[in-house]
């Protein structure tokens, strides 16, 4: 555990200062909070609640595709299926225990968290979605959680501190809470988005998890929200990677209560402009939130944006970007501040793309685009290696933020971005050495 | 470079002593050798030749599926295609430069290595396959290589030292040469197999490569050899992983010259028993050779065998084993000597298997099988976590060799094994820190 705590001490003040907002604007009609109920042994916040206080909200969710689905994932999936996302007015989340690989008792415990939250808010049954994160394979200490739900339900609020408590209460190995808020205008009305996430990292004998949710006071139908969530998650939470592992608990939820008023946004043609604008705002928002997860990747010293351009399809572009992002050789090169285009090329070459014309070796170009705004550094142009100015390359790779552009030159014009971090000694220490 | 040299000094004596044979039995009719011709700046061996001196041999080869194929891969592929594998009587291999991403000059250089070798041995054209490994993106210093071919061709031999020189001459970041020999009996005749490989590892700004070849004096047709090679490589070189990256140069060649005599083995029913026996001997042999590559994985402290049993198909079993083997979280856990079954389960759950019935959470069992012959340690039985004796688990994970059995319980009865190493601080140092 020692090394993990060292990491928290080292990074928290720095990253928290840069990435945790001092204030926020919050959507109307939602109250949140977080307390310590007794799951975590270190006394940190471990239970979070969100309540919609404005009529009946609609919700949508995406879940891990891992075949070993944790109990809360199975229960939330059932509720989304049975309700179609209608009337979901609360969320309950515990950290410190993932309630995964816990058999029939695990399902019963997750169900009881839903029932207790429904009751605490006086809602009908199946009004709550449940998430858990933390140790796997251990039974949930359900009694302090149920007591905690009762206590916390009485002290929710909508202040910045309430939201920060909520964000802290879902953290496990995270070194800072991830909270993003945003306002935008649509048809003359100001709408607000607020969201939380927790990072993907692992701590023995646990697997940690990507959990997140965002809520808005915009009015939107359940099917439109579902479609917007899927689109935005494909381009945000499904376009990030710390180590390529996908947990049993990953869940992202979106809730909309319409409290800010205005015309309901759906997918009909009359609503097309509003739908498209909302989708774009949500995608941008989800990307900000997802990027914070990468910033806080275990042992991360670099924040790397990989953009693949001029691909035959979005899917090919994303596959290639993701393959580079998950290459241990690429990630160690970035840690070592080495403009190793060979490893990038290698990963492009073994990406599982859709056709033989998806990657054309003699059309492929690779450029490092400095985040300091200075001239881009071309390393490969149309398959031919450039003479690289090594001094300039070193300078560029000293920066925390690294942007790599891959131009596939297929004429397809599609593109995708993917965000990842480097693979450092600290990562190996965190994930290998905690017993020592 | 410092850390790499440290690694060589540290591991060489130990691993070489255990894994490099002191003597060998070699197939009839083959002569080999290795010299320093001038590609490597450190004076180490960098050019290898193999010559068949018994009539016309047949050959088969498998190549990287990376879209960025190095020049020697393109040239060897052309020769195999044009000859159907008939009359391949020599191999030429250089280390120190991969001749990859080198454009038209690269192809010309690879062709000239083939032509020079054909000429040196007085063979007709297209009698030689070529391989290269080392730095990518740099032009091959072709002149010393061509001179070296002439010199080396006059000093080949079939002693153990000649084979060791040949094995050393194809190494790059390897800490010991990989050489395996074996004899077996078929229809009353003793046949011999000998083979070399070099490891998969990376060193800036290079990508290293998996190269290997094996030769036998058994008589076999070109199509039968092709089929045996594919089968054996699927279960050996394609069932190992150091870091999951696949290079631009990977090549495995098999050559058979029939010098030991006997009936020619083909795929007809009359030859079925011999074919099956030969395939089994070659597969076992290829596994031994491939496992040496894992033993010498960059920074490796553990040798891990993952066996997936009772799968619906070989392909599913291999996919699952390979997904575990490539999980950074699993590999760091092994480095940290932690029996972290959660990470194993997690990887099983996100494996890209063929159907929803390929993995059944409540039928899955995971067991650590000690290499010290003591009682296996069950960690998951039919999806239920066991009470793990942590003291016993620690003891077991102190061993260098770790065997993990996954029983899928599907009733399909198929199985696959996969070999990998752990992910250590040393791996990050080798691949990230060489500039410092």
Q: Using CA atoms, how far apart are residues A334 and A428, in angstroms rounded to an integer?
A: 15
- How many percent of chain B have pLDDT more than 70? 92
**Which tens digits make up the pLDDT trace of A115-148?**
999 999 999 999 999 999 988 788 999 999 999 9
Q: Do B207 and A244 touch (CB under 8 A)?
A: no
Give yes or no for a contact between A76 and A251, defined as CB atoms under 8 angstroms apart.
yes
Q: Enumerate residues 6+ apart whose C-beta is below 8 A from A329.
A: A340, A343, A346, A347, B202, B207, B243, B245, B431
Give yes or no for a contact between B346 and B340, defined as CB atoms under 8 angstroms apart.
no
Among the partner residues B245, B329, B345, nearest to A346 by beta-carbon distance: B245
CB contacts, 8 Å: B435 with chain A: 336-338
Q: Using CA atoms, how far apart are residues B220 and B266, in angstroms rounded to an integer?
A: 6
Q: Do B361 and A67 touch (CB under 8 A)?
A: yes
CA angle B127, B129, B133 (to 5 degrees): 160
Q: Do B329 and A433 touch (CB under 8 A)?
A: no
- Measured from the Cβ of residue A220, the count of other Cβ atoms closer than 10 Å reads 28
Of residues A231 and B271, more confidence is placed in: A231
- Measured from the Cβ of residue B267, the count of other Cβ atoms closer than 10 Å reads 14
Binding residues of B for substrate: 172, 198, 209, 298, 431, 436
CB contacts, 8 Å: A340 with chain B: 204-205
Please report the sign of the dihedral spanned by the C-alpha atoms of residue A225, residue A228, residue A234, residue A236: negative
Parts of chain A belonging to CATH 3.10.20.340: 303-432
Q: Do A333 and B204 touch (CB under 8 A)?
A: yes
**SS3 of A94, please?**
strand
- Measured from the Cβ of residue B71, the count of other Cβ atoms closer than 10 Å reads 27
**Which tens digits make up the pLDDT trace of B216-242?**
999 999 999 999 999 999 999 988 877
CB contacts, 8 Å: B345 with chain A: 68, 101, 136, 248
Residue for token pair 């052309």: B78
Q: Do A359 and B243 touch (CB under 8 A)?
A: no
Parts of chain B belonging to CATH 3.60.70.12: 2-295
Among the partner residues A248, A349, A432, nearest to B68 by beta-carbon distance: A349
**What are the φ/ψ torsions at residue A305 (nearest 5 degrees)?**
-110, 120
CA angle A134, B328, A167 (to 5 degrees): 30
Out of 1.10.2020.10, 3.60.70.12, 3.40.50.1100, 1.10.240.10, the CATH code matching B2-295 is 3.60.70.12
What band does B245 get if pLDDT is binned at 50, 70 and 90?
Answer: low
Q: How many residues does chain A have?
A: 436
Identify the pLDDT of residue A348.
93
**SS3 of B20, please?**
coil
Q: Do B137 and A329 touch (CB under 8 A)?
A: no
Structure-token pair, residue B180: 């395996």
Beta bridge partners of B397: none
Identify the pLDDT of residue A299.
80
**Of A209, A305, A323, A364, catalytic:** A209
Size of interface A-B (CB pairs under 8 A): 190
**What DSSP state is assigned to residue B172?**
S
Identify the pLDDT of residue B423.
84
Give yes or no for a contact between B119 and B89, defined as CB atoms under 8 angstroms apart.
no
Give yes or no for a contact between B215 and B225, defined as CB atoms under 8 angstroms apart.
no
- To the question of whether residue A403 is assigned a binding role by annotation, the answer is no
CB contacts, 8 Å: B204 with chain A: 333, 336, 338, 340
Residue for token pair 């204030």: A23
Q: In what order do the strands lie in the sheet with A128-135?
A: A30-35, A47-52, A90-97, A128-135
Give yes or no for a contact between B217 and B67, defined as CB atoms under 8 angstroms apart.
no
Q: Do B245 and A327 touch (CB under 8 A)?
A: yes
Give residue B66's region: left, alpha or beta (phi > 0; psi -120 to 50).
beta
Chain-centroid distance, C-alpha A142: 27
Q: Do B346 and A246 touch (CB under 8 A)?
A: yes
In chain A, the residue whose alpha carbon lies closest to the alpha carbon of B205 is A340
Q: Using CA atoms, how far apart are residues B267 and B232, in angstroms rounded to an integer?
A: 15
Residue whose C-alpha is closest to residue B145's, from B130, B160, B159: B130
Strands B189-198 and B178-186: antiparallel
In chain A, the residue whose alpha carbon lies closest to the alpha carbon of B422 is A432
- To the question of whether residue A436 is assigned a binding role by annotation, the answer is yes
In chain B, the residue whose alpha carbon lies closest to the alpha carbon of A138 is B385
Chain-centroid distance, C-alpha A104: 29
Q: Where are the beta strands (DSSP E) in B242-352?
A: 251-256, 303-311
Rg (CA), chain B: 22
Q: Using CA atoms, how far apart are residues B197 and B180, in angstroms rounded to an integer?
A: 9
Identify the pLDDT of residue B31.
98
CB contacts, 8 Å: A329 with chain B: 202, 207, 243, 245, 431
Candidate from A154-163, B73-82, B135-144 with smallest mean pLDDT = B135-144
Give residue B122's region: left, alpha or beta (phi > 0; psi -120 to 50).
left
Shortest Cα distance, chain A CAs vs residue B3, angstroms: 13
**What DSSP state is assigned to residue A363?**
G
CB contacts, 8 Å: B202 with chain A: 329, 343
- To the question of whether residue A337 is assigned a binding role by annotation, the answer is no
Identify the pLDDT of residue B200.
61
Catalytic residues of B: 209
pLDDT in tens, chain A (436 residues): 233 333 333 344 577 788 999 999 999 999 999 999 999 999 999 999 999 999 999 999 999 888 889 999 999 999 999 999 999 999 999 999 999 988 899 999 999 999 999 999 999 999 999 999 988 788 999 999 999 999 999 999 999 999 999 999 999 888 899 999 999 999 999 999 999 999 865 433 334 568 999 999 999 999 999 999 999 999 999 888 776 666 788 899 999 999 999 999 999 888 899 999 999 999 999 999 999 988 888 788 899 999 999 999 999 999 999 999 988 888 888 998 888 888 898 889 989 899 999 999 999 999 999 887 788 999 999 988 888 888 888 888 899 999 999 999 999 999 999 999 888 888 777 777 543 3
Q: Share the mean pLDDT of chain B.
A: 89
Among the partner residues A248, A341, A361, nearest to B346 by beta-carbon distance: A248
Q: Using CA atoms, how far apart are residues B384 and A424, in angstroms rounded to an integer?
A: 34
Give yes or no for a contact between B248 and B69, defined as CB atoms under 8 angstroms apart.
yes
Q: b/e for B303-329, b at 16 or more Cβ within 10 A?
A: bbbbbbbbbbbeebbbbbbbbbbbbbb
Strands B47-52 and B30-35: antiparallel
Q: Using CA atoms, how far apart are residues B430 and B11, in angstroms rounded to an integer?
A: 13
Please report the sign of the dihedral spanned by the C-alpha atoms of residue A123, residue A125, residue A131, residue A137: positive
Structure-token pair, residue A381: 């142009």
**What DSSP state is assigned to residue A66?**
-
Structure-token pair, residue B190: 């003793």
Question: Using CA atoms in the order A326, A327, A332, A337, what is the torsion angle rounded to 10 degrees?
Answer: -90
Q: Enumerate residues 6+ apart whose C-beta is below 8 A from B343.
A: A202, A207, A245, B327, B329, B330, B333
Structure-token pair, residue A434: 């905690």
Among the partner residues B103, B349, B428, nearest to A424 by beta-carbon distance: B428
Q: At B345, which helix (H) or strand (E)? A: helix B341-350
Of residues B300 and A90, more confidence is placed in: A90
Residue for token pair 């229809």: B187
Does ipTM top 0.95?
Answer: no
**Which tens digits make up the pLDDT trace of A19-47?**
999 999 999 999 999 999 999 999 999 99
Helix axes B328-335 and B314-325, enclosed angle (nearest 10): 60
- To the question of whether residue A206 is assigned a binding role by annotation, the answer is no
Among the partner residues B207, B327, B346, nearest to A343 by beta-carbon distance: B207
CB contacts, 8 Å: A333 with chain B: 204, 431-432
Among the partner residues A136, A342, A380, nearest to B205 by beta-carbon distance: A342
Residue whose C-alpha is closest to residue B385's, from A109, A100, A202: A100
Residue for token pair 């001459």: B169
**SS3 of A267, please?**
coil
Residue for token pair 């391989």: B131
Give yes or no for a contact between A303 and A402, defined as CB atoms under 8 angstroms apart.
yes
CA distances from A413 to A156, A291, A312, A410, B281 (A): 48, 25, 7, 7, 51
**SS3 of B366, please?**
strand
**SS3 of A424, please?**
coil
Q: Using CA atoms, how far apart are residues B428 and B78, in angstroms rounded to an integer?
A: 37
Please report the sign of the dihedral spanned by the C-alpha atoms of residue A33, residue A38, residue A44, residue A47: negative
**Which tens digits make up the pLDDT trace of B200-211?**
654 333 345 789
Q: Do B431 and A332 touch (CB under 8 A)?
A: yes
- Superfamily for domain range B303-432: ArgJ beta chain, C-terminal domain (3.10.20.340)
Helix axes A328-335 and B425-432, enclosed angle (nearest 10): 70
Q: Using CA atoms, how far apart are residues B93 and B47, in angstroms rounded to an integer?
A: 6
**Which tens digits make up the pLDDT trace of B419-433?**
998 888 887 777 775
Residue whose C-alpha is closest to residue A360's, from A318, A315, A409: A409
């Amino acid at each position: 555990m020692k090394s993990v705590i060292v990491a928290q001490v080292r990074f928290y003040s720095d990253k928290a200062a840069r990435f945790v907002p001092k204030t926020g604007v919050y959507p109307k009609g939602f109250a949140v909070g977080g307390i310590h109920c007794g799951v975590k042994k270190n006394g940190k916040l471990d239970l979070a609640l969100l309540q919609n206080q404005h009529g009946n909200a609609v919700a949508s969710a995406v879940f891990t595709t891992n075949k070993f689905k944790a109990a809360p994932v199975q229960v939330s999936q059932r509720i989304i299926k049975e309700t179609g996302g209608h009337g979901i007015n609360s969320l309950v989340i515990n950290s410190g225990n993932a309630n995964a690989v816990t058999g029939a008792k695990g399902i019963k415990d997750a169900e009881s968290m839903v029932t207790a939250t429904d009751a605490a808010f006086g809602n009908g049954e199946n009004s709550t979605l449940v998430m858990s994160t933390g140790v796997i394979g251990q039974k949930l200490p359900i009694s302090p959680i149920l007591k905690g739900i009762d206590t916390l339900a009485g002290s929710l609020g909508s202040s910045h501190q309430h939201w920060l408590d909520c964000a802290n209460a879902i953290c496990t190995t995270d070194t800072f809470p991830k909270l993003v808020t945003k306002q935008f205008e649509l048809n003359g009305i100001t709408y607000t988005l607020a969201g939380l996430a927790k990072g993907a990292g692992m701590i023995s004998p646990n697997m940690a998890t990507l959990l997140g949710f965002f809520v808005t006071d915009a009015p939107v139908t359940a099917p439109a929200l579902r479609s917007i969530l899927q689109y935005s998650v494909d381009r945000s939470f499904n376009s990030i990677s710390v180590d390529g592992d996908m947990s049993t608990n990953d869940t992202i939820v979106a809730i909309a209560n319409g409290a800010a008023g205005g015309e309901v946004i759906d997918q009909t043609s009359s609503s097309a402009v509003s739908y498209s604008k909302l989708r774009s705002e949500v995608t941008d928002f989800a990307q900000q939130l997802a990027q914070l997860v990468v910033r806080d990747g275990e042992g991360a010293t670099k924040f790397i944006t990989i953009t693949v351009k001029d691909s035959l399809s979005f899917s090919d572009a994303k596959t290639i970007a993701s393959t580079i992002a998950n290459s241990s050789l690429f990630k160690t090169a970035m840690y070592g501040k080495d403009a190793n285009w060979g490893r990038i090329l290698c990963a492009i070459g073994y990406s599982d793309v859709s056709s033989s014309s998806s990657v054309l070796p003699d059309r492929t170009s690779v450029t490092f685009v400095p985040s300091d705004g200075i001239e881009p550094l071309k390393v490969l142009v149309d398959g031919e290696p450039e003479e690289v100015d090594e001094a300039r390359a070193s300078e560029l790779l000293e920066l925390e933020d690294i942007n790599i552009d891959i131009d596939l030159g297929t004429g397809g014009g599609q593109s995708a971005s993917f965000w990842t971090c480097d693979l450092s000694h600290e990562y190996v220490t965190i994930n290998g050495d905690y017993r020592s």
